[in-house]
């Protein structure tokens, strides 16, 4: 059985068109080197704006991890191919803000994307990464992906097994939990913002980079 408790410790929610602004803010916060690692080129703010505007939330799946200030600490994009013969393939891309790295968010988003892809009957997931991107390649290798290095670029692919009742129920529970966690964060943020409008009402400190529901 999937370790649901461990997975719920970092709420990961599926994103929709209403999150475009936060996705843009997350990607613009990446520095030049990270943008290069994420997109394979030195993406400017204009490139990012075009990428965000072009996101297809019906075809693809986009996941996010938020802190209590509703700042998007990490996001992943599982892109499906429109070509009918490649409908069973998907490409994975991910980014984590520098201040939130090394906590397993990249790996957790990868696992979440794998589970979703399996449930959507995708049977091959691709990760395109620069060969220097040892952390991304490690995430893929840990999941059992085959990695082909070609000079400065690497292609990793992971064959996915068929969905099970476990993957389907786990994804449903995780998503509901993450949506509930997000709604609470929205309510808390609105309330604190409202309270802050009153002079003399001190705003309690909010840890700005922990995503857990109990934050």
Ligand X SMILES: CC(C)(COP(=O)(O)OP(=O)(O)OC[C@H]1O[C@@H](n2cnc3c(N)ncnc32)[C@H](O)[C@@H]1OP(=O)(O)O)[C@@H](O)C(=O)NCCC(=O)NCCS
Please state, in angstroms and as integers, the Cα–Cα distance from residue 26 to each residue in 61, 118, 168, following that order: 17, 27, 29
What is the rounded distance in angstroms from the CA atom of residue 182 to the CA atom of residue 126? 29
Between 109 and 122, CB nearer to ligand X = 109
Cβ at position 105, least distance to ligand X in Å: 4
Q: Which of residues 19-38 bind ligand X (CB under 6 A)?
A: 34, 37-38
Instruction: Check binding of 155 to ligand X (CB under 6 A).
Output: no
Instruction: Check binding of 145 to ligand X (CB under 6 A).
Output: no
Scanning 57-65, 134-142, 170-178, 198-206 for contacts with ligand X by CB under 6 A, the matching segment is 134-142
Q: Which two tokens stand for residue 124?
A: 């091959």
- Per-position DSSP letters for 154-166, written without gaps between them: EEEEEE-PPP-HH
Q: Which of residues 87-106 bind ligand X (CB under 6 A)?
A: 93-96, 101-106
All residues at 6 or more sequence positions from 66 whose CB lies less than 8 Å from its CB, including other chains = 11, 13, 72, 73, 182, 185, 211
Instruction: Check binding of 47 to ligand X (CB under 6 A).
Output: no
For ligand X, the binding residues (CB under 6 A) are: 34, 37-38, 93-96, 101-107, 129, 133, 135-136, 138-139, 142
């Amino acid at each position: 059985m999937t370790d649901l408790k461990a997975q719920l410790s970092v709420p990961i929610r599926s994103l929709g068109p209403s999150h475009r602004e936060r996705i843009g803010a997350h990607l613009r916060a990446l520095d030049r080197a990270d943008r290069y690692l994420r997109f394979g080129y030195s993406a400017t703010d204009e490139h990012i704006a075009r990428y965000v505007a072009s996101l297809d939330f019906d075809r693809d799946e986009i996941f996010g991890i938020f802190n209590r200030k509703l700042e998007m600490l990490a996001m992943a994009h599982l892109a499906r191919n429109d070509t009918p013969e490649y409908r069973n393939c998907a490409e994975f891309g991910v980014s984590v803000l520098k201040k939130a790295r090394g906590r397993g968010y990249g790996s957790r988003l990868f696992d979440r994307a794998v589970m979703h892809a399996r449930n959507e009957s995708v049977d091959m997931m691709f990760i395109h990464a620069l060969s220097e991107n040892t952390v991304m390649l490690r995430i893929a290798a840990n999941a059992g992906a085959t990695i082909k290095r070609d000079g400065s670029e690497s292609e990793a692919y992971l064959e996915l097994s068929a969905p099970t009742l476990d993957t389907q129920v786990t994804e449903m529970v995780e998503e509901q939990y993450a949506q509930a966690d997000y709604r609470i964060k929205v309510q808390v943020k609105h309330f604190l913002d409202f309270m802050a409008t009153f002079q003399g009402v001190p705003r309690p400190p909010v840890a700005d980079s922990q995503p857990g529901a109990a934050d």
